[in-house]
A and B are shown apart, each in its own frame.
Chain A
Amino acid sequence: DVKVTQSSRYLVKRTGEKVFLECVQDMDHENMFWYRQDPGLGLRLIYFSYDVKMKEKGDIPEGYSVSREKKERFSLILESASTNQTSMYLCASRTQGIETQYFGPGTRLLVL
């Protein structure tokens, strides 16, 4: 079974803090993705990575950065958290060339 894990289920941070969200997959997938999920807006792609040390901006990259130093791990970084970044963050991975994405359980982030 494919397993995608996210470091925290719930996170509370203060405005201006630097926030790290971690995602790990155990299936040797090349591609990894970060989405945010908001009511009425569905899933929106923040960043994705084709492979180690590669990254591409998604549809809403502003205020975020990512890091992919190892194949199994993809980190999302909020350099200076703001209240409008309060959201559910979902990580996904897939094998290069296969469309099916496997999602983690999500991290619900609250920025106060």
Chain B
Amino acid sequence: GENVEQHPSTLSVQEGDSAVIKCTYSDSASNYFPWYKQELGKGPQLIIDIRSNVGEKKDQRIAVTLNKTAKHFSLHITETQPEDSAVYFCAASLPGGGNKLTFGTGTQLKVEL
């Protein structure tokens, strides 16, 4: 089955700096890559996703890039703010099979004032 590795496990940045979280996946057939944000005491919430036919996607201060050849994808957050502090999970999904998501191990992002 699919395996997703995520780095780093913790990330601390100064407010206004950029943050980058990286994930690699094992199965080249995976075609859907979402990113979820989990705030303290809440369940994860989708913030952005990308499909395998696209190399990059942006939504305001967040962007995701996908390198299918290397089988890795990254989340980029620019101009970080304190409310960006949360745990971020990447995931990958194979086509069919119920589109089950395989999640990475999570990154605790802390944005310091």
Q: Are A45 and B105 in contact (CB under 8 A)?
A: no
| Complex interface residues of chain A between 79 and 103 (CB less than 8 A to chain B) | 90, 92, 99-103
- Does A56 reach chain B (CB closer than 8 Å)? yes
A interface residues, how many (CB within 8 angstroms): 24
CB distance from B29 to the nearest CB of A (A): 15
CB distance from A97 to the nearest CB of B (A): 8
**Chain A contact surface mostly:** strand
| Complex interface residues of chain B between 81 and 96 (CB less than 8 A to chain A) | 89, 93
B interface residues, how many (CB within 8 angstroms): 25
- Does A41 reach chain B (CB closer than 8 Å)? yes
Select from chain B the residue with minimum beta-carbon distance to A59.
Answer: B1
- Please name all residues of chain A whose beta carbon is closer than 8 Å to the beta carbon of B102 when the two chains form the complex: 45
- Does A75 reach chain B (CB closer than 8 Å)? no
Q: Are A42 and B89 in contact (CB under 8 A)?
A: yes
- Does A48 reach chain B (CB closer than 8 Å)? yes
CB distance from A105 to the nearest CB of B (A): 5
Q: Are A99 and B32 in contact (CB under 8 A)?
A: yes
Select from chain A the residue with minimum beta-carbon distance to B51.
Answer: A99
The proximity string for B residues 37-50 relative to A, scoring 1 for CB distances below 8 Å and 0 otherwise, is 00001111110010
Q: Are A45 and B6 in contact (CB under 8 A)?
A: no
- Does B62 reach chain A (CB closer than 8 Å)? no
Given contacts A40-B105, A45-B101, A56-B98, 4 further A-B contacts (CB under 8 A): A42-B4, A42-B6, A99-B49, A106-B42
A interface residues, Cβ below 8 angstroms from B: 4, 31, 35, 40-45, 48, 50, 56, 58-59, 90, 92, 99-106
B interface residues, Cβ below 8 angstroms from A: 1, 4, 6, 9, 32, 34, 36, 41-46, 49, 89, 93, 98-106
Q: Can you list 22 A-B contacts (CB < 8 A)? A: A35-B103, A40-B105, A41-B105, A42-B89, A42-B104, A43-B44, A43-B89, A45-B101, A45-B102, A48-B100, A58-B100, A59-B1, A90-B44, A99-B34, A99-B49, A99-B93, A99-B101, A100-B34, A100-B46, A103-B44, A105-B41, A105-B43
